[in-house]
Structure 1
Amino acid sequence: MFRKIPCIPISGKSTARDAAEETPAAIFVNGRHLTTVILSPGEFEDFITGYLYTEEIIGSADEIESVRIEENRISVITKNIFRRVSVKKTILSGCGGAVSYIDTQKLPAINSDLVVTVPEIEAAVAALTTHKPLDAVALASGGRVVARAEDLDRHNALDRVIGRGLRESLDFSRTVAVGTGTVTSEMVRKCLIAGIPVLVSTGAPTALAVEVAEETGLCIVGFAGTPEMAVYTHAERVIELGA
């Protein structure tokens, strides 16, 4: 995912430093172009499985008949080859297209009785090492990481671990998503589609992410791994608060 790039540090001699690789990938489903994404190279099958799932194009990994990965192209054939697909979002436009918002009534609500402890959160975050400038996302259960991915974009990394979970038949309702960076409404949406009840990040959530999570039952924990760690929504899912 990295290669050496020459540079001249302001305070030193010429050297070479690691630079993250990025690659465009055109996604075709049943012979039709769906979209083109920019992501880190490698493990495309996990990514495409998670991406098609969180875009609600497939309902399970079993709906994928085959995946062919060529340079800058990911071709997917589903079991229903005549199905026309498109990227589906729950973001709607208001009058004149001036206002955009997420229609939470079109999103699934979390249906899980999972509760987590502060030590479990801390253990999962401690295991979430990353190679800067990449973002990392993991799925954890009981504080133990069960799937992990890095990418240029944390949304892609989340799709990768969801894809891995689908391929390994993980019960998402018993897992916690742990990641780096800002928690966005799009990350909340992906967790809701997968049924992941807790989303933890080393960064802060956006105001919209908090609003959507509060309405749909998702627990958000921000600034994890720091003295500023805080629960933003559905604190009932985190026990030992203040311990």
Structure 2
Amino acid sequence: MMYKEIPCIKKNGDEYTASMHPVVEEVPVALFVNGRHAATVMTSPTMLKELIVGFLLTEGVIKSLDEIEALSVDDDRAEVLTKNPYKILFSKKTVLSGCGGSSSFLDMKKLPKIQSDLTVTPAQVSTGLKAVLNSPLHMLTGGVHVVGLIQGDHHLAIVEDIGRHNALDRVIGYAALNGIDLSQTFVVCTGRISSEMARKCLIANIPIIVSRGATTTLAVEIARAGGLTVIGFVRSDKMNIYSGEERVSGAGSLEIPAPVE
């Protein structure tokens, strides 16, 4: 269960009534890597193993699942032992639920390039987005972000979390644990595409990220530098393609204009 019924007073017109309302849960999970407290993640209490694996991958603590010697997850604590017991590449921090918290410092020159020949149709993009918008928890509470991992017309995973960055880490962790080739998938999300979302896609080699909402200038800059396709404002038969237009059927004949200085 990712939500609880919380008492409240509801107003409807001029009438006030005592009632209950479903509210999403938020819990702290302390992450220890090789005996050191590396981070505290504010998250939804589900798929914690996938979250931790995805977080370790996108933060560069591990390059692959093979580098994990042992992993244990309790309700509020996760402990990881890597094959290099002295390795930890980030200082202790708190990852906030709203937007990923204190994200990694971006060094554009060190970001990887997408290696993928994937192309998608506008219909696949729209269908993938509908799958995340139909999340029962999202519709019930209105308090979670949803990220979907899509391959062609198949929805490989639909993941909810109070933070969209956590949800993306969960999807990446799910793929690693299940041997999924992320270069042949794309992700769709309910929230804004931020620079941190773009960074995580580059590191995981996810070639396309889609949202019903907006993106940021830095996210687009990162995407163009790394070959990531960013698609926003997907509504009905409309969408904005900000980078990587060659991966969307029908859009490759056009070239996105250079930014206005």
> What code does the residue aligned with 1:187 have?
M
Choose the corresponding residue for 1:138, options 144, 148, 158.
148
Give 1:228 deviation, angstroms: 4.1
The aligned residue for residue 103 of structure 1 is 107
CA distance in 2, matches of 1:87, 1:51: 14
Match of 2:17 in 1: 13
Q: Give, in whole Å, the separation in 2 of the partners of 1:26 and 1:133.
A: 23
Of 31, 34, 53, the residue aligned with 1:30 is: 34
Residue of structure 1 in register with 2:120 after alignment = 116
RMSD: 1.8
Aligned match of 1:95: none
Give how far 1:199 is off.
0.5
Matches of 1:189 and 1:181, distance apart in 2: 15
TM-score, length-normalised on structure 1?
0.90
Match of 1:187 in 2: 197
CA distance in 1, matches of 2:72, 2:223: 36
1:168 aligns with 2:183: no
User: Does the 8 A contact of 2:28 with 2:76 survive in 1?
Assistant: yes
Q: Secondary structure at the match of 1:14?
A: strand
8 Å CA contact 1:55, 1:87 repeated in 2: no
Q: Aligned with 2:85: secondary structure? A: coil
- 1:193, distance to aligned residue in structure 2 (A): 0.1
Partners of 2:88 and 2:243 in 1: CA distance: 37
* Deviation by residue 1:159-201 (Cα, 9 ceiling, x = unmatched): 0000000011111110001111100000000000000110001
**Identical aligned residues as a percent:** 44
The question of whether the paired residues in 2 share the 8 Å contact of 1:4 and 1:18 is answered with yes
Q: Is the 8 A contact 1:28 1:35 kept in 2?
A: yes
Q: Are residues 1:125 and 2:135 paired? A: no
Report runs of 4+ in structure 1 exceeding 3 Å deviation: 87-90, 225-228
Shift of 1:90: 5.7
- Deviation of 1:241 after TM superposition, in Å, equals 4.2
How far apart are 1:113 and its partner, in Å?
Answer: 1.4
Q: Structure 2 stretches of 5 or more lacking a match?
A: 93-102, 253-261
- 1:138, distance to aligned residue in structure 2 (A): 1.2
The answer to whether the 8 Å contact 1:118/1:241 transfers is: no
Q: Which of 194, 218, 222 is matched with 1:212 structurally?
A: 222
How many residue pairs get aligned? The number is 232
Paired residue secondary structure (1:41): coil
